[in-house]
A and B are shown apart, each in its own frame.
Chain A
Amino acid sequence: MRWLRRNLVGIVAIAVLVYLFIPIAVIMVLSFNKPAGKYNLKFDEFSLEAWANLCGVPGVCSSFVTSIQIGIVSTIVATLLGTMIAFALVRYRFRGRSTTNLLIFLPMATPEVVMGASLLALFLNLRFPLGQITVIIAHIMFIISFVVVTVKARLQGMDPRLEEAARDLYANPRAVFRYVTFPLVLPGILGAALLGFSLSFDDFIISFFNAGTLVTFPIYIWGAAQRGIPVQVNALATIVFLVALVIVLTAQYVNHRKRRALDNPTPIAADAALPRS
């Protein structure tokens, strides 16, 4: 009993982690499966076939590439636009500023089904052919919100004296932006871009409404689910997961090293804290 009480937090933590990781583990394990029937639901026989032949099933790889393309293009465009909007909102006073501030939140607050359906209605009304372009336009729309919110927070949190110091040190407005503002906001922009990409890659509902005959990776999986999802999907999902993991771990590592350097200035600083005179 005493033992339980002392280790309760640890046990709960492990339980939560297990709960979180079981689905991912199942997907990984099943990527090495050779299912007996058409459904890849229980482990029948170990096989590397899906890994050796990633594009073996028609449509898997092309939909994967399509999703990556859409993700990259919409993230880049949304990050550029969103960053500029964030600067405008923080740095300039103009009419409609507070309205814009509010409207920027709308795409995040609107249910995806509603947004997907209304965009579809819009495109149909404009007689705009559905396809990659419409999906990209839709994705840009919701990624922008996240970029604006993140970059805005970063900008507002920045000490205004840093830019003043730069101006004081002979930096003209462009140099201030290039050498001080931008480098300081960059981590926020990168974070927003990563988040935007994963949202885009992941999106099913909005894409589904506006894709026409285009097949993105989530749409492919949804279609395949009717007939039995090919093992290759598990393999690709595992790859995506591992890539994400590497990115997160790298970020953590970099942060950790930075923090360590910040937390322990004493042994370095003590030696010259006082002027030698």
Chain B
Amino acid sequence: MVDGTRQVEDLHLRSLTKSFGDFVAVDDLTLTIPAGSFFALLGASGCGKTTTLRMVAGLEDPTQGSIMIGDRDITALRAFERPVNTVFQSYALFPHLDIYENVAFGLRRRGVKDVRGQVERMLELVELGPMARRKPAQLSGGQQQRVAVARALINQPDVLLLDEPLGALDLKLRRQMQIELKRIQVDVGTTFVHVTHDQEEAMTMADTVAVMNAGRIEQMGHPAEIYETPRTVFVANFLGQSNLIAGRRTGVSGDHTLVEAHGLTLAVPSNRCFSLGTEITVGVRPEKITILDAVDAGRIPEGHNRLEGRVTDVSYTGVSTQYLVDAPWGQELIVFEQNVIVGDRCEVGDPVVLHWSPSHTFGLHPAQGGTAGVDPEAAEGARTAAHLLADGTGV
């Protein structure tokens, strides 16, 4: 769809701020979204994602800051003057127009020639050709969603904004549409800014993920990078799960910072330690930990971080087994073990030792407390589901 000559440019937000009365919905946001990238803005409900998009679209005036595409400042442009289009959270298809006219709307307003050819090609791209003369209410949710994408994309915007576009779809259709959207993005090469609260969706679709919390960006980067190296407690908990152990800085050993926690000494690579003070929260992802029967403690490689504990819960989830292990100081740690082991698994009550490589360890500033970003419902839900599977009582 994109003509080769069209220059795609970066989107810059500079100190973008939006207050509603005393409440700051978006707080001094500065970020650059690379041209042609699939950018995900990930955050819990109410953290300011929609407000950010609305400011970029021109539907909301920023309290402060500016929005630039390349070196053009578009902050003062009105919505209909911006080279930006939106796929709305609830699609907002025009109910009185058929699919064809919905998709043609933007072209007609701009007085573009060859509306027919373009609309037909666009409907082809989203596989809705035969639906052209239906009204939006006659389509299924997934089809409406594709119309919304087509209606925005046909204008060849510099930036396409998608506000939780898959939120209204059921899980199966959602996975399908994720692939579909990604395919379309690669096809057209337009910059996509995709807002979502679903971390899996953000990670599977985006080239770059920005984790947003309370109006600010907590961390931004390639999905694998933020997952492997979270820089804040919020990110460590919001994106996947983490074991976080509070400790104090005691010294340095080579490239590693040593942290004393509950009588143990844990090593964190200094370049993965993001706390500058004495207090350091040591983190490790559950799948990075190896669980061993206490009697096998001798097999632990030299230099690994290790701690002893007792198994309190075992859930078999098919791909992996999820253990809950009580540390001596009472904290519950999570361990995922790939089901590649033939023979006995650890059982509830077993004394075990956990170990993991220091290179998988990260050190965080503890300011927010250990539970920031934890989604209690999701954590509880996952645990229950695993239990049901393990007991064989589910399904």
Residues of A that sit less than 8 Å from B by CB = 159, 161-162, 164-172, 175, 179-180, 183-184, 261-262, 265, 268-270, 272-277
What is the count of residue pairs linking A and B with beta-carbon distances less than 8 angstroms? 95
Instruction: List, sorted by A's number, 21 A–B pairs whose CB atoms are closer than 8 Å.
Output: A162-B94, A165-B92, A167-B78, A168-B57, A168-B86, A168-B152, A169-B105, A169-B155, A183-B96, A261-B138, A262-B138, A265-B137, A265-B139, A268-B134, A272-B127, A272-B130, A272-B131, A273-B142, A275-B127, A275-B176, A276-B127
Contact A168 B90 (CB under 8 A): no
CA distance A268 to B94 in the complex (A): 19
Assuming the contacts A161-B88, A168-B80, A273-B142, asked whether A175 and B109 have C-beta atoms less than 8 A apart, the reply is yes
Which of B57, B110, B135 lies in contact with A261, CB distance below 8 A?
B135
Residues of B within 8 A of A273 (CB): 140, 142-143, 173
Question: Known contacts being A164-B59, A165-B88, is A269 close to B143, with CB within 8 Å?
Answer: yes
Instruction: Check B180 against A275 for contact (C-beta < 8 Å).
Output: yes
CA distance A265 to B138 in the complex (A): 5
- 0/1 per residue, B7-22, Cβ < 8 Å to A? 0000000000000000
Question: In the complex the two chains form, what is the Cα distance from A82 to B273 in whole Å?
Answer: 67
Chain A interface, >50% SS class: helix
Given the complex of chains A and B, what is the CA–CA distance between A160 and B363 in angstroms? Answer: 46
B231, CB-defined interface residue at 8 Å: no
Interface residues on B, range: 35 or more
B contact residues around A184 at 8 Å (CB)? 95-96
Contacts of A164 in B (CB 8 A): 59, 79, 88, 92
A168 and B109 form a contact (CB under 8 A): no
Inter-chain contacts of B109 with A (CB < 8 A): 169-172, 175, 179
Interchain residue pairs A-B with the least CB separation, the first 3: A169-B106, A161-B92, A167-B79
B140 contacts A262, C-beta separation under 8 Å = no
The answer to the question of B128 belonging to the interface, with a C-beta cut-off of 8 Å to chain A, is yes
Is the CB of B151 closer than 8 A to any CB of chain A? Answer: yes
* Bound form: Cα–Cα A168–B78 in Å: 9
CB closest residue in chain A, given B109: A170
Q: In this assembly, does B85 line the interface, its C-beta being within 8 Å of a C-beta of chain A?
A: yes
Complex alpha-carbon distance, A167 and B85, angstroms: 10
* Residues of chain B with a CB closer than 8 A to A265's CB: 137-140
How far, in whole Å, are A161 and B130 apart by their CA atoms in the complex? 27
